[in-house]
Amino acid sequence: MSAVAAELFMAVCRAEVVALKPGNVHVHAAGHGMTVEDFLLSAEAAAPEIARSGAPVGDRILRAVQATRSVVGCNTNLGILLLCAPLARAAESPKTHSLRDRLSSVLAALTVEDAEAAFEAIRLASPGGLGRAAEHDVAGPATVDLRTAMAAARSRDRIAAQYADGFRDVFDIGVARARSMPDSDAVTVAEAVYLEFLTAFPDSHILRKQGEDRATAVLSEAREVRRQVAAASSAAIRREHLFVFDAHLKWRGINPGTSADLTVASLFAHRLEHAQAGYEGAQS
């Protein structure tokens, strides 16, 4: 399964950078000092570490961040790695239960060692706007398991909240949207999933870096753009609305990075589910 998981991880990372995601880096427009090539190199370097067979979640995260830092000089994928490592580990579990159920078991079994490795990875990636935490600060040693540490940050970080809530947003928002589009190509699905997250709640990357007022304003703007996209009479007009919003966000230095990270995780989970279904079909 590790080779399959690595291939699927690469595939969803490629689809995500080809998708037109307003405010985020994509093939139609770079931004925030990063390029599409940075993201593709990062995905290629991180894939074998995320999918390393038998490896603990924390070790996958740390080794994937180290591999990423060896090929690019900036943080391109920390959120993606934090989300995809548990999913890849869950995909290795016996296929007697759904991916979501197996993920719950993986999260429940996380250890202090997983937290220590993840803390080191976060320090190495050095994400912008991280700040200091009152408890379980990544600048210090881990004293609790990774899920407990993430739960303490759930109110300010939507990625941390996934650990606390069993990846509820990933499955109930992202995977659900992907499942509703069985006949669409991967890029179209990625764009739809991203827009779903962008309009569901304030993006916590914006919240962390630019404050609650800005994050709430972007949420309102995104919902209006979604309304315009839904009402557009042609694909060209729909994309024009997205391009205009993309330029407006980047001009103001706004990057909905959490929405992009959740999109990749959702696409990865969806593909892993399909891979499991294919395996079960072949065995029947």
- The pLDDT value recorded for residue 131 is 45
The CA distance from 127 to 77, in Å, is 10
- The pLDDT value recorded for residue 3 is 86
- The pLDDT value recorded for residue 135 is 53
DSSP symbols for 81-109: HHHHHHHHHHHTS-TTS-HHHHHHHHHHT
- The pLDDT value recorded for residue 128 is 55
Residues 6 or more apart whose CB falls under 8 angstroms from that of 118 comprise 57, 58, 61, 62, 82, 138, 142, 146, 149
Is there a contact between 167 and 100 (Cβ–Cβ < 8 Å)? yes
- The pLDDT value recorded for residue 40 is 94
Options 1.10.4200.10, 3.40.720.10, 1.20.1250.20, 3.30.360.10; CATH for 2-283 is 1.10.4200.10
- The pLDDT value recorded for residue 28 is 87
Is there a contact between 79 and 258 (Cβ–Cβ < 8 Å)? yes
- Can you state the percent helix, strand and coil of the chain, rounding each to 5? 70, 0, 30
Is there a contact between 30 and 45 (Cβ–Cβ < 8 Å)? no
Q: Which residue is it, tokens 């290795």?
A: 92
The CA distance from 284 to 279, in Å, is 9
Closest CA to 189 of 16, 58, 37: 16
pLDDT tens track of the chain, all 284 residues?
A: 578 999 999 999 999 999 999 999 898 877 667 788 999 999 999 999 999 999 999 999 999 999 999 999 888 999 999 999 999 999 998 888 999 999 999 999 999 999 999 999 999 998 754 444 445 456 778 999 999 999 999 999 999 999 999 999 999 999 999 999 999 999 999 999 999 999 999 999 999 999 999 999 999 999 999 999 999 999 999 999 999 999 999 999 999 999 999 999 999 999 999 887 654 444 43
Read off the tokens for 97: 């239960």
End-to-end CA distance of the chain: 18
Closest CA to 71 of 92, 42, 114: 42
- Each domain of the chain, given as residue ranges in start order, spans 2-283
DSSP symbols for 213-275: HHHHHHHHHHHHHHHHHHH-SSHHHHHHHHHHHHHHHHHTT---HHHHHHHHHHHHHHHHHHH
Is there a contact between 147 and 163 (Cβ–Cβ < 8 Å)? yes
DSSP state of 55: -
Beta-bridged to residue 34, according to DSSP, are 31
